[in-house]
Structure 1
Amino acid sequence: MLKSSFWLMGCSLLLFFQSSVFAQEQIDVIDLTPSTEDGFTSLFNGKDLTGWHGETEGYSVSAGTIVSSPDTRGNIYTKKEYQDFIFRFEFKLTPGANSGIGIHAPITGNPAYAGIELQVLDNTAEKYQQLKPYQYHGSAYGISPAKRGALKPVGEWNEQEVIVRGSTIQVRVNGQLILDTDLKKAAPNGKTMDERDHPGLARTTGYIALLGHRSEVSFRNLRVKELLEL
């Protein structure tokens, strides 16, 4: 009986140890989320719009995502301004969706001109097949066109990275570089591609913004890393 008791105790300890190791492995996996990337700060707590201001009535929070309303336009802005940075996020489009990401955006004025708007768009929608090259997804709206073909089918999550350093902007979608532009060279002879006035070209700092254009677009895992001068 004594040997049996020791044997049972040994088995129990072994099972406890294995369970603890398994639990630790599970915790390690859970901890490897975008918010733990080196130097990145989360811009969304997954519960509400704390840390964002502006026309928040045009957005809702559901299942850990920020969702723009298809019934109203509205822009929301980060609580602080950024100069040079890496901005990473995931987004999911609905059919025909149209939205945008504001870079170096001021609170007042149209961010597409007063700042820089990076287009968020369902490139495959029939109604968008005759757009100008600078109006498709990832483009610096009115300024520099992005390459097409990187988006996943509508309804699937995409990953996007925006790197802003000085006057340069790079955009990657699902690992593919689709925009690599220098704003200093965006207006040769004083004219942009859309021949509109873009005072935002001269801005070197501003807010990151979500720009709602009466379309349902979902965003999650929004995080930013400031690129500080050495």
Structure 2
Amino acid sequence: MKKIVLLNAVAALAISAMLLSSCGAKKESATTASTPAADNTLTEKEKKEGWVLIFNGKDLTGWHSWKRDTAARNWIVKDGQIQYDRENDRAGDDLVTNGIYENYELQLQWRISKGGNSGIIFNIQEDKKYGATYQTGAEMQVLDNIDAEDNKKQNHWAGCLYDMIGDATVSKPVTPGEWNQVRLIQNKGQLTFYLNGIKTVDVKIGSPEWEKALASSKFKSRGFEDFMKVQKGKIAIQKHPGSSGWKNMKVREIKS
């Protein structure tokens, strides 16, 4: 009888050990599955959802400087980031995607130096008759709200639709040098911006709200007749005062 009891006890311990091992494996698998992708890569879930990287983390494949065939020397890749290199400030202009995008969601991270200024410009028509990206494309502002020179109007602050929509209630960038998270969505004329999880803009192109904001903007006063007339185009990151960094840049087409 003692032998039977002993064997039963040993068997119970073995089963317990197997169950614990199994639970541990499941826990480890779940942890692994929830681990975010490394910088400038996509998870399997993101790939299935249709996300595509527009920056590979290594070089400027897929990008060029405004109205050039390749990227100029003021844009470099370092430490897995696109960086605006002020040492070569005169070497080129805004950095523009080769691809053209219409209904999509763009996600990326940016950081700016103290006092720095840049922007994400979209719906760009790259044609010789235009002198700058912003003559046809609108801008989601990138800024150090505290120390940048262009901080006098609240709709010039980080995350705003530049010179049109946004204010201090929604513009909440992190400390200069740290990473901000952007979601920019354009879907059938509806523009929705998020900065660090806060919705900063939600407007329909051509709506009364849009037309009112446009009428009082510099785009109207400067006579940019083709500003946002085409609701698809290239995307640019802006050459501007201060140093900027960019990573984890990806686009998902909206098909519905």
Contact conserved, 1:70 with 1:216, CA < 8 A, in 2? yes
Partner residue of 1:4? none
Q: Distance in 1 between matches of 2:234 and 2:78?
A: 24
Q: Distance in 1 between matches of 2:31 and 2:138?
A: 41
Q: Which runs of 5+ in 1 are unaligned?
A: 1-13
Aligned partner letter, 2:63: W
Across the aligned residues of Structure 1 and Structure 2, the Cα RMSD in angstroms comes to: 2.8
Aligned partner letter, 1:125: D
The structure number with the bigger radius of gyration is 2
Residues 106-145 of structure 1, C-alpha deviations (whole Å, 9 max, x = no match): 224322221112211111116344x223322122223323
Taking only the aligned residue pairs, the percentage that are identical comes to: 23
> 2:180 aligned to 124, 134, 158, which one?
158
Partner residue of 1:6? none
Aligned partner letter, 2:75: Y
> 2:217 aligned to 193, 196, 199, which one?
193
Q: Does 1:44 align with 2:55?
A: yes
C-alpha distance 83-214 of structure 1, shift in aligned 2 (>3 A): same
C-alpha distance 31-92 of structure 1, shift in aligned 2 (>3 A): closer
Contact conserved, 2:158 with 2:171, CA < 8 A, in 1? no
User: Where in structure 2 are the equivalents of 1:101-180 lying within 5 Å?
Assistant: 101-108=120-127, 109=130, 110-125=132-147, 127-129=149-151, 131-147=152-168, 148-180=170-202
Partner residue of 2:109? 90
Partner residue of 1:222? 249
Deviates more, 1:159-168 or 1:105-114: 105-114
> 2:83 aligned to 59, 64, 67, which one?
67
Q: Flag the structure with higher strand content.
A: 1
C-alpha distance 125-76 of structure 1, shift in aligned 2 (>3 A): same
**TM-score for both structures, normalised by structure 2:** 0.72
Matched positions, count? 213
Q: Distance in 1 between matches of 2:37 and 2:56?
A: 16
Could you tell me how far 1:163 is from its partner in structure 2?
Answer: 0.5
**TM-score for both structures, normalised by structure 1:** 0.80
C-alpha distance 39-189 of structure 1, shift in aligned 2 (>3 A): closer
Contact conserved, 1:69 with 1:215, CA < 8 A, in 2? no
Q: Which runs of 5+ in 2 are unaligned?
A: 1-17
User: Larger RCO: Structure 1 or Structure 2 (Cα < 8 Å, ≥ 6 residues apart)?
Assistant: 1
Instruction: Provide the secondary structure at the position in 2 that maps to 1:112.
Output: helix
Deviates more, 1:182-191 or 1:212-221: 182-191
Q: Distance in 1 between matches of 2:195 and 2:214?
A: 30
